[in-house]
Amino acid sequence: MINIKLIRESPDTVRAALQRRDSDLTASVDKILALDESRREILANVEKLKAERNRSSEEVARLKKAKEDASSLLSELRDLSTKIKEMDQEVRGIESDLKSLVLQIPNLPLENLPDGGADDFKIKKTWGEPAELGFEAKPHWELGESLRILDLPRGATVSGSGFPVFVGLGARLSRALVNMMLELHTRDHGYLEIAPPYLVNEDSALGTGQLPDLEENMYVTRDGLYLVPTAEVPVTNLHRNDILDVEDLPRTFVAYTPCFRREAGAHGADTRGIIRVHQFDKVELVRLCRPEDSLSEFEILLGHAESVLQQLELPYRVIQLAAGDIGFASAMTYDIEVWAAGVGKWLEVSSVSTFTDFQARRANIRYRPEQHAKPDFVHTLNGSALALPRTIIPLLENNQRQDGSIDIPPRLVPYLGAEKLMPHGTA
């Protein structure tokens, strides 16, 4: 959530930042300023009336003590109390409208982001070389069928399009990847593993910025609980309304969850295979830190996400998204894209983002910089490390051999228990 003080004191800065996002919410800044001014004006008048009421109350007490008539003054006091109550109610209504508007304002992009939209990213680094197979590469859906590890038709029968079924060694491959990633991040990178709920309440979804912006992409139950679109939501909200000790920062968490996304508005895009699905598994990293450590923590987080692809020997590139392409809550995002030989393109396998204090303000996550100091908001960061479908795709496509078998990267062999995947599901 944007600090309303910033909107009040630097409205032009906020408008300019929103325009960099190609946002049509700049008019909301004017509405927020008008409501804020009205709220402060009413509050100032309420304080004057309360001061007047206090003086009158003291005078009534004096008159009663002197056994003098205070009926006229008591009538004025009743009128004052009624007016104060009405104005307090008006303030609450304005504050509700104000909060609703502020919650619709996205985070402000950092200054170092390139301008533009989805095509205006900057390539920050590359690792590895795209595979030269020497034959025409098959896409993962054909490989998955011939290996009998992926059954898309039965997934569609059970749930609908976009709900894949992994079978046999395919299911074991998914489990092996999750175990490898969790062990890497806990043992080597020092993250605390969390097994969070897969359903969250409205406050949690508001806290991380999924609501109200992404509500149409979330599955909601009749009880008003939301299926998690990412483990970021429950894990970040573990410390909602908490005040952390500075000695406890950074707090670092890793969690595996299935993720559920309706992908509203994405119909017709990447419909074949498992590039874009409604349910998928993902390992997520979350970091909470002091504001002054935010950028260095971002680089650490990025390195941890990259390390998974390095362990799997999958070529990738890191791109910095333009200001008009970052997510609602993000202030800066780097996408990690991995090359997939079968579909012949780069696939986003991870987004690493810093949210500055945007999520912390919404979820009220604070820390005390030093003993007895006023609490301040932490900075939150997260990144996928990694999403399974778009890890499995290049794993199959880049490591395929002409006989239809798949070579398994050495780092994954102990978890999978096989060095190769063979056609017809034999190892």
pLDDT, residue 268, reads 56
348 belongs to the catalytic site? yes
Catalytic residue of the set 204, 350, 351, 384: 351
Catalytic residue of the set 261, 361, 362, 366: 261
The pLDDT confidence band at residue 427, using thresholds 50, 70 and 90, is: very low
Query: Does the residue 303 lie in any domain?
Result: yes
Is residue 238 domain-shared with residue 90, that is, in the same domain?
no
Catalytic residue of the set 276, 290, 368, 411: 276
pLDDT, residue 361, reads 97
pLDDT, residue 223, reads 94
pLDDT, residue 71, reads 76
Q: What is the pLDDT of residues 118-171, one digit of tens each?
A: 999 999 999 999 878 999 999 999 999 999 999 999 999 999 999 999 999 999
Mean pLDDT of 71-89: 85
Average pLDDT of the chain to the nearest whole number: 93
Write the DSSP symbol of residue 14. H
Q: Which of 103, 138, 173 is the last residue of a domain?
A: 103
Is residue 154 domain-shared with residue 75, that is, in the same domain?
no
Whether residue 386 has a cis bond before it, omega within 30° of 0: yes
200: pLDDT strictly greater than 80 = yes
Is residue 399 domain-shared with residue 250, that is, in the same domain?
yes
Catalytic residue of the set 348, 368, 411, 419: 348
Q: What is the pLDDT of residues 370-419, one digit of tens each?
A: 888 999 999 999 999 999 999 999 999 999 999 999 999 999 999 999 99
- How many domains does the structure of the chain reveal? 2
Catalytic residue of the set 284, 317, 390, 405: 390
Q: What is the pLDDT of residues 9-33, one digit of tens each?
A: 999 999 999 999 977 788 889 999 9
Query: Does the residue 110 lie in any domain?
Result: no
Which residue shows structure tokens 């990267």?
A: 409
Go through the chain and tell me how many residues it has: 427
Query: Does the residue 61 lie in any domain?
Result: yes
- Letter for the amino acid at 165? V
Query: Does the residue 410 lie in any domain?
Result: yes
Q: Which of 103, 131, 166 is the last residue of a domain?
A: 103
Query: Does the residue 113 lie in any domain?
Result: no
Whichever domain contains 127, its CATH number is 3.30.930.10
Q: What is the pLDDT of residues 214-249, one digit of tens each?
A: 888 999 999 999 999 999 999 999 999 999 999 999
Query: Does the residue 112 lie in any domain?
Result: no
261 belongs to the catalytic site? yes
Q: Which domain holds residue 273?
A: 122-425
Is residue 66 domain-shared with residue 174, that is, in the same domain?
no
Q: CA-based angle 320:15:328, to the nearest 5?
A: 45
Whether residue 369 has a cis bond before it, omega within 30° of 0: no
Phi, psi of 348 (to 5 degrees): -65, 120
Phi, psi of 99 (to 5 degrees): -65, -40
Q: CA-based angle 333:336:340, to the nearest 5?
A: 150
Q: Which of 76, 103, 130 is the last residue of a domain?
A: 103
CA distances 48 to 41, 75, 91, 190, Å, are: 11, 18, 15, 55
Q: What is the pLDDT of residues 169-184, one digit of tens each?
A: 999 999 999 999 999 9
390 belongs to the catalytic site? yes
Q: Which residue has the higher pLDDT, 424 or 322?
A: 322
53 belongs to the catalytic site? no
The pLDDT confidence band at residue 41, using thresholds 50, 70 and 90, is: very high
* Alpha carbon distance 33, 26 (integer Å): 11
324: pLDDT strictly greater than 90 = yes
DSSP string, 51-79: HHHHHHHHHHHHHHHTT---HHHHHHHHH
Instruction: Tell which residue, 147, 364, 132, 110, has the closest CA to residue 237.
Output: 364
Is residue 40 domain-shared with residue 131, that is, in the same domain?
no
Query: Residues 360, 340: contact at Cβ < 8 Å?
Result: no
Instruction: Tell which residue, 103, 107, 92, 84, has the closest CA to residue 21.
Output: 107
Q: Where are the beta strands (DSSP E) in 163-250?
A: 165-166, 192-194, 199-200, 226-227, 243-245
Is residue 293 domain-shared with residue 333, that is, in the same domain?
yes
The pLDDT confidence band at residue 80, using thresholds 50, 70 and 90, is: confident
112: pLDDT strictly greater than 80 = yes
CA dihedral 242, 245, 248, 254 (to 10 degrees): 10
